[in-house]
A and B are shown apart, each in its own frame.
Chain A
Amino acid sequence: MEITSLSIKQLTAGIKKKEFSEEEIYRSYLQRIKKYNKELNIFLTVCDKPYKADKPSTAHLSGIPVGVKDIFVTKGLRTTAASKVLENYMPEYSATLVNRILENGASVIGKTNLDAWAHGASGENSDFGPTKNPWNIAYVPGGSSSGSAAAVAAGMCPAALATDTGGSIRLPASFCNAVGIKPSYGRCSRYGVIAMASSLDSPGVITKTAEDCELMFHLIAGRDEYDGTSVPFKARALPKKIRVGIPKEYFSEGIDPEVRRKVEEAIRRLADLPDVELAGEVSLPHTEYAVATYYIIVPSEISSNLARYDGIRYGHDRTQFGDEAKRRIMLGTYALSTGYYDAYYKKAMKVRTLIKQDFEKAFEKVDVLVAPVSPTPPFRLGEKVNDPLAMYMCDVLTGPVNLAGIPSLALPAGFTRSGLPIGMQLIGPQMGEEILFTLGKKYQEITDWQIRRPNL
């Protein structure tokens, strides 16, 4: 079997059995990047030599090359946020999550492409050109963690760090047939992640399997003294029987029929599992207001966070911002300005409470909600670039989770007739990641979507 199609668990086992060496693993991935990166535009920076710790404190990820979304700062390794503003920015320190994978023996193989500043759902807002979907290069890989998901799908690394503010881990994972965890807000440190919307930004990881995702998650999660919003968490106890609920608003008429069919099929498979109980429909009545709420709160926080890029402390001046960054900065500036603050920002913060309460009520009855990640399968490059609102609607099923700060695990759920991936998400209560991984692993024991690879 090809090294580049193996999971982390398989790679680690292979090293132990001396089937291949750590150097051979790195070389295999590097060769694949060299071969396909030009066409797919997945990596912005490639590390010809492994970027790793001199003396890692554990060997949990020894020999594992990891892709890192280029929004995590990496000491001495160019970090751009895929924006021209930072095209030459060289960080003086590394993000906590980068340090955590390095301390566990992993190496960084390169920095992955994204929508500039993580603003986008398709990867097309990158100032360094869009990433192509490895399953069909005429299609988007999803965003904003476009490169991280495409890298895993294309066999350029077995795992990649990513961030999710409104769907940016789950959308590309679902468009590329990968697994991605959007953790509970505060469970993974934001220290060293170039800030987008600070009250929603959730760093996490994209992998090939739920098992790998769980392994990586437990190595990167946990309180960080450098991030005051990281939480000294207590993981939720696993229920004896996992009650699965179906949020009816997530299966409305706006959902593509093929997506709906595949996710409904996945729910039937889940219901057949031992220790899983189908608890029926639940309602999240404020779902239809989530995108509007999200696109007030997020630009508001963006306008504040991106104010620091003035060409004095970091990189180039503000003329180098791309269109989407300009739009979001202006939307936020408007929503926060005198006379409009109450009607927009304050109103959105109140509706955010209602969205959060919808989930709290649902989780009194069920342990996990199952839904599609995206209302549509991957779409064509260029299809939505001139219609920002249409692009924003891609977040309709993912954004509510971020507003509520709860975790969600994206898993492959099948393919369209034309061979494009479809993803589902398992949504859990705050600090309920363990329940999601348990259910995700059980699902992947009885399905094989996760071992399918694109023909490059």
Chain B
Amino acid sequence: MTQQPLTPKDTKKIAKLANLQLSPEELEKFSAQLSAILEYVEKLKNIDTSNVPETSQVTGLVNVTRNDEVKSVRYIKKGTYYTADAVFE
């Protein structure tokens, strides 16, 4: 797969997925800039990774849990937020 440059239409679609609103000028500018970056990262295709596992974290920690305790020091003080009457019975 060779990366085709992004068109403003492509960029508009990505922006929508990312919940960003872009002006027509921004769509032009970002299409060119993002295309240049995507063209650069194409180089990863030159490496054979067929037998390589993925790395998403480096510590090797698994299933980190904490005790299910309430800590009063972590309360957020009353007065910093609105208080509302209970909605559910």
- A76's nearest neighbour on chain B, judged by CB, is B80
Q: How far is A350 from B26 in the complex, measured between Cα atoms in Å?
A: 33
Closest to A390 in B: B36
B78 to chain A, nearest CB (A): 12
A353 touching B54, Cβ below 8 Å: yes
A329 contacts which of B18, B56, B58 (Cβ < 8 Å)?
A: B18
Closest-CB distance, A384 to chain B (whole angstroms): 13
Known: A186-B59, A353-B52. A310 touches B36 (CB 8 A): no
Q: Contacts A229-B64, A347-B49; is A333 near B58 (CB within 8 Å)?
A: no
A442 on interface, CB distance cutoff 8 Å: no
Q: Which residues of A contact B52 (CB under 8 A)?
A: 350-351, 353-354
* Contact indicator per residue, chain A 384-417, by CB within 8 Å of chain B (1) or not (0): 0000110010000000000111000000000000
A13 to B34: give the CA distance in the assembly, Å: 53
When A229-B59, A307-B19, A330-B20 are in contact, do A388 and B33 touch as well, CB less than 8 Å? yes
* B41 interface neighbour in A185, A292, A307, Cβ under 8 Å: A292
Instruction: Tell me the bound Cα distance from A288 to B37 in angstroms.
Output: 15
1/0 contact string of B64-89 vs chain A (CB within 8 Å): 10100000001010001000000000
Q: Cβ of A303: which chain B residues have Cβ within 8 Å of it?
A: 18
A404-B58 in contact given A330-B34, A343-B1 (Cβ < 8 Å): yes
Give bound CA distance, A321 to B38, whole Å: 22
B residues less than 8 Å from A353 (CB atoms): 52-55
Residues in B whose Cβ lies below 8 Å from that of A93: 74, 76
A354 & B21 in contact (Cβ 8 Å cutoff):
no
A47 to chain B, nearest CB (A): 21
Q: Give Cα distance in the complex from A351 to B80, angstroms.
A: 46
* A92 in contact (CB, < 8 A): yes
Which residues of A are found within 8 Å of B43, using beta-carbon distances? 288-289, 292
**Interchain CB contact under 8 A, B33 and A327:** yes
A residues within 8 A CB of B64?
A: 228-229
The answer, yes or no, to whether A296 is at the interface (CB within 8 Å) is yes
Pick the contact of B21 from A318, A330, A346, A352 — CB < 8 Å?
A318
Chain B nearest Cβ from A149, distance in angstroms: 25
* Contact between B54 and A185, CB atoms less than 8 A apart: no
Q: Give the size range of A's interface with the partner.
A: 35 or more
A350 and B76 form a contact (CB under 8 A) = no
| Cα distance A191–B74 in the bound complex, in angstroms | 13
Q: How far is the CB of B39 from chain A (nearest CB, A)?
A: 9
B30, B40, B47, B66: residue with the most chain A Cβ atoms closer than 10 Å: B47
Instruction: Give the contacting residue for A293; candidates B17, B18, B44; CB below 8 A.
Output: B44
Among candidates B15, B34, B41, B54, residue contacting A344 with C-beta atoms closer than 8 Å:
B41
Contact A329 B20 (CB under 8 A): yes
Residues B58 and A389 in contact, CB atoms below 8 Å apart: no
Indicate whether A354 sits within 8 Å of B49 (C-beta atoms), given known contacts A330-B15, A349-B55: yes
Give the distance in Å from the alpha carbon of A293 to the alpha carbon of B56 in the complex: 12
Q: Which residue of A lies closest to B49 (CB)?
A: A350
Residues of the B chain whose Cβ atoms lie less than 8 Å from the Cβ of A333: 14, 17-18
Instruction: Let me know if A337 and B17 touch, CB within 8 A.
Output: yes
| A327-B30, A354-B49 as given contacts; A347 in contact with B59, CB under 8 Å | no
Asked whether B44 lies within 8 Å of A199 as measured between CB atoms, the reply is: no
Q: What's the nearest-Cβ distance from chain B to residue A394, in Å?
A: 14
Interface presence of A295 (CB below 8 A): yes
Interface residues of B (CB under 8 A from A): 1, 11, 14-15, 17-22, 26, 30, 33-34, 36-38, 40-45, 47, 49, 52-59, 61, 64, 66, 74, 76, 80
Please report A residues at the B interface, Cβ cutoff 8 Å. Answer: 92-93, 185-186, 199, 225, 228-229, 231, 286, 288-289, 291-293, 295-296, 303, 307, 310, 318-319, 321, 326-327, 329-331, 333-334, 337, 343-344, 346-354, 356, 388-389, 392, 403-405, 430
What are 28 pairs between A and B in contact, CB < 8 Å?
A92-B76, A186-B61, A228-B61, A292-B40, A295-B40, A295-B41, A307-B19, A319-B21, A321-B20, A326-B22, A329-B18, A330-B11, A330-B18, A330-B34, A331-B34, A331-B37, A333-B17, A337-B14, A347-B45, A348-B44, A349-B56, A350-B52, A350-B54, A351-B47, A351-B49, A354-B49, A389-B33, A403-B55
